[in-house]
Amino acid sequence: MSAARTPPHPVTLVALSGVSALSMNVFLPSLPGMARDFGVDYALMQLSVSAYIGASALLQLLGGPISDRFGRRPVALTGLVLFLLATVGTLIAPTASSFLFFRMIQAVISVCMLLSRATVRDMFEGDKAASMIGYVTMGMAVVPMIAPVIGGIMDEAFGWRANFAMMGLLAMVVLIVVWRDMGETVRGGGITMRQQIANYPVLARSHRFCGYCLAATLSSGCFFAYLGGAPFVGEQVFGLTTAQVGYFFASPSIGYLTGNFLSGRYTARIGLNRMVLAGASICFAALSLSLISTLAGVVSPLIFFGSIGIMGLGNGLVMPNTNAGMMNVRPELAGTASGLGGALAVAGGAALSAVAGALLTPGSGAAPLLVIMCASALGSLLAILWVFRRERQLARMG
């Protein structure tokens, strides 16, 4: 069938983002058990999260410009096929090292997340794009909300490999949907790689782009640090079972879902900068209260995971609006901007996830994780305040 179809249905874009999010977190409740199964330390097994995130950063950095040049559709199809092959590898891997090798290849699916955002920007502009990204990622948030719950149950019933088999089956379904529905949205056949390289410094020199990047990177860094440390905290600090950890993992996704809905509903009316400011403030306030509670000796999974849920709400306001802001700087470089912004976000997340895994040791409690997350949230808040300040300065200058 021809690739010259109409632009994709929003459900297709939700599916693209959803399968990428699924691959990141469905197996998280299984991490301690996977470490025992392979006979390795938790810190090594945690690389399946932090190193995967790092590989995703590199792939998004490459995937954005490639999709600007060759189109969204072929990049999405290629990413899904490679992900399916790598998933087979994770299922048959006999050792932790071979598993991690195929797990890194699985990171190619991360390009699907940036493609869904870039495709929305191809079709819409300005605050309308931010609203549509909010709605698309609102639907996508349902997947990571229920995935750890299902993952924990499947782990207890069938073992951790069942989660990777589920990833492969769902990716196959998404591949079929994308093949049938996703028309090309890049106008005029895309721009050459030479033109992209020539224009790339424009993004780097833009205070708006850098500010949005920092706000997104540090806000998502809170979530990635949580991904790296929450399985350990749930089991070692709160004594939860694998399935219970999966249930609590739904809390940030519920918050994120709510934040995305609010972004879709109100960004066009309020403006994306104010929405980012509100989200960053909510993240910092929630995590600070949780840290204060922990340092005061009030240790409870309800307080910890409840604050994470509120953090998810803040992220749901920050992420779609910062992504739209980055892509608005140079609309013809939407894929490049989405890829660069996504790469920086997940690279920072990989670092924070690895730090969280290294600092969490038996007896450490949840405080090290919360300190990392609070610092990241504060950085995000300062970044968007910097954007406000620079725009006021430019407005006074003329």
Q: Write the CATH number for 334.
A: 1.20.1250.20
Residue with more model confidence, 320 or 354:
320
Q: Is the pLDDT of residue 177 over 80?
A: yes
Owner of token pair 């390009």: 111
Structural domain count, the chain = 1
Asked whether residue 58 is assigned to any structural domain, the reply reads yes
Alpha-helix residue ranges (DSSP H) falling in 159-237: 161-181, 193-205, 207-232
Give yes or no for residue 348 having a pLDDT over 80.
no
CA–CA separation, 225 and 287 (whole Å): 12
Mean pLDDT confidence for 320-348: 74
Is residue 318 one of the residues assigned to a domain? yes
Is the model's pLDDT at 381 over the cut of 60? yes
Q: Note the pTM of the prediction, 2 decimals.
A: 0.67
Say if 5 falls within a structural domain: no
Within a domain: 56: yes
pLDDT of residue 164: 92
Of 126-140, 159-173, 253-267, 269-283, the range with the lowest mean pLDDT is 126-140
User: Across the chain, what does the average pLDDT equal?
Assistant: 82
Range of the domain at 282: 10-184+193-397
The predicted structure's pLDDT at residue 281: 96
Between 164-173, 259-268, 271-280, 302-311, the lowest mean confidence (pLDDT) is in: 259-268
Average pLDDT over residues 301-309: 89
Residues 383 and 124: their CA atoms lie apart, in Å, by 26
On whether residue 122 sits in a domain, the answer given is yes
For the cut 80, the answer to whether the pLDDT of residue 332 exceeds it is: no
Handedness of CA 235, 106, 350, 312 (dihedral sign): negative
Rounded to the nearest 5 percent, the helix, strand and coil shares of the chain are: 85, 0, 15
Q: Which of 49-53, 76-80, 212-216 has the lowest mean pLDDT?
A: 49-53
61 assigned to some structural domain: yes
Average pLDDT of the residues in 71-89: 92
Has residue 212 got a pLDDT over 80?
A: yes
Say whether pLDDT at 331 is over 70.
Answer: no
Lowest mean pLDDT among 40-54, 72-86, 91-105: 40-54
Q: Determine, yes or no, domain membership for 3.
A: no
Task: Tell me whether residue 107 is in a domain.
Answer: yes
- Please state, in angstroms and rounded to a whole number, the distance separating the CA atoms of residues 349 and 372: 11
Q: Is the pLDDT of residue 90 over 60?
A: yes
